[in-house]
Amino acid sequence: MRSKWFAPILPYFAVWAGLFVFKNAWVTLIGFHLAILIALAFLRSSLRVDVFFKPAKLRHIALSVILSASSGFGLYLLWNIFGIVADLPARLAVLGLNSSTWVGFILYFSLVNPFIEEYFWRGNLGSDTRRLYLGDVVYAGYHLMIVWDKARMWSVLVIFFVLISAGWLWRQLYRRDGSLLAPVLGHIAGDFSILLAVFFMTR
């Protein structure tokens, strides 16, 4: 496999361009996914997609789903403590997220994004080390472009470290099971719960 440390550059650029140039959530997300697919082509990945369907230990699946889903509940309960900006609904509307687009965005983000990200970050850019790994930080890093101006700075740092921890956990589950089933189900639960929290808190 070619040097994998160049692979995240294009997805990072896609998120930056989508948010700050095109200023559209759908362009950001689709561009991010296309960038990952291009990066995977560059890497010449040989990882089979059936890695998502290989058996995983039930306790690993439960751990991944429960911990990940709790992120959305935590965001909902601690919304004011995190200092989420009062004009978030207006900012999301500028990005094209409104009553007519939210449901489709939540479904696509929750059901498609986790497969693409887990295949990329854990499947192709992961490591077998039990220690914290640079890839965990790189995975968490692009999220900062999304949240940096939408909450208090300490909250952004908390989010950053939570995402690093999530990346580490999912990587460990993949290492233990040889399957991306537990990571992707946890990722689905996390994305869905977080987006639901944002949806209900910005109505």
Question: Per residue in 105-128, pLDDT tens?
Answer: 999 999 999 999 999 999 999 999
Q: At what angle do helices 153-177 and 58-77 cross, to 10 degrees?
A: 170
**Domain assignment present for 144:** yes
CB 11 within 8 A of CB 39: yes
Residue 4 confidence (pLDDT) above 90: no
What is the reported pLDDT for 182? 99
CB 67 within 8 A of CB 147: no
Q: Based on the number of CB atoms within 10 Å of its own CB, is 55 exposed (0-12), middle (13-18) or buried (19 or more)?
A: exposed
When divided into structural domains, the chain yields a total of 1
Question: Per residue in 142-169, pLDDT tens?
Answer: 999 999 999 999 999 999 999 999 999 9
**Domain assignment present for 18:** no
Question: Per residue in 167-182, pLDDT tens?
Answer: 999 999 999 999 999 9
Phi-psi label, residue 87: left if phi above 0, alpha if psi -120 to 50, beta otherwise: alpha
Question: Per residue in 32-87, pLDDT tens?
Answer: 999 999 999 999 999 999 999 999 999 999 999 999 999 999 999 999 999 999 99
Instruction: Indicate whether this model's pTM tops 0.95.
Output: yes
Range of the domain at 161: 49-201
Locate 168 and state its tokens. Answer: 């580490």
**Domain assignment present for 93:** yes
**Domain assignment present for 169:** yes
Residue 10 confidence (pLDDT) above 60: yes
**Domain assignment present for 192:** yes
**Domain assignment present for 155:** yes
**Domain assignment present for 27:** no
CB 59 within 8 A of CB 183: no
Length of the chain in residues, anyone? 203
DSSP code per residue over 60-109: HHHHHHHHHHHHHHHHHHTHHHHT--TTHHHHHHHTT-STTTHHHHHHHH
**Domain assignment present for 126:** yes
